Structure 1
């Protein structure tokens, strides 16, 4: 993960938990502020990641590419594990690093977007969109979401 040396490397050990009913793309923002896809995290699953406190992470729902949130924020920065140990006020020493649970949630979204998202989740092919009696602009958005869904599936299998 090191694109550039980090002078202040404070290790952080996190467990990303997908608390949504959608597949989520876990993305690390590198030192050049470029998004680096880390993995696809299926609904209700978790992923253990060893990272650093200086590394920002974002999360996108795979179909609509909407940003998800952690503690109400779109960008997550882990705390160093020793700081987490102190914050939780453990009285005994820990020899093994403490892994922090990070719950990924869906933010409040418009009803229109939620409906499109659920339709895209159900539909399997973009030709099915043409059978729906909805405005052309919504059909186009749905087709794009279905393409995103297929792209996500390919990432998930690789």
Structure 2
């Protein structure tokens, strides 16, 4: 089952820190499980957010859509605020990709999409390389009063 936000969570104050060498897009799963992009962090950049313990988050490479890990997990659920004066630092890193996944990443960077079907590799790999999974998302719109 895909993650989604639930109401009535406890407040959580977090800072995302991109420790990867990639541009990390930060996504919140809304109440219906749809992705809402909150921003993109360059390497070593940080973003502080106020959220809730029942609101899951994930990160993707902004250019390739490759999965990044948030506190070593695909999805991240913030801890409830413990009353401290500091925000919880949440790290964004590159995961250990399988050899197959890493090879597909390199081929996608080196070969133009129309040329993939000319490669002498199994058809199912050509199909996977040509049809990069992209998710639908909306951009976060700040509500001001």
TM-score (normalizing by structure 2): 0.65
Runs of 5+ in structure 2 lacking a partner?
140-145
Say which structure is richer in helix: 1
Larger CA Rg, structure 1 vs 2: 1
**Alignment map for 1:90-129 (pairs within 5 Å):** 94=85, 98-123=86-111, 125-129=112-116
Residue of structure 1 equivalent to 2:52: 52
What is the number of residues matched between the two proteins? 133
CA 1:115–1:63: 2 relative to 1, 3 Å = farther
> Matched residues in 2 for 1:8 and 1:57: separation?
14
Q: Contact conserved, 1:59 with 1:67, CA < 8 A, in 2?
A: yes
Higher strand share: 2
In structure 1, the gaps of 5 or more residues are: 86-93
Preserved contact between residue 19 and residue 43 of structure 1 (Cα < 8 Å): yes
Q: Answer yes or no: is 1:136 the counterpart of 2:123.
A: yes
Instruction: Output the aligned Cα RMSD.
Output: 3.5
1:29-71 residue CA offsets vs partner (Å, 9 max, x unmatched): 2233333333344454433322222311122345665543233
Paired residue secondary structure (1:129): helix
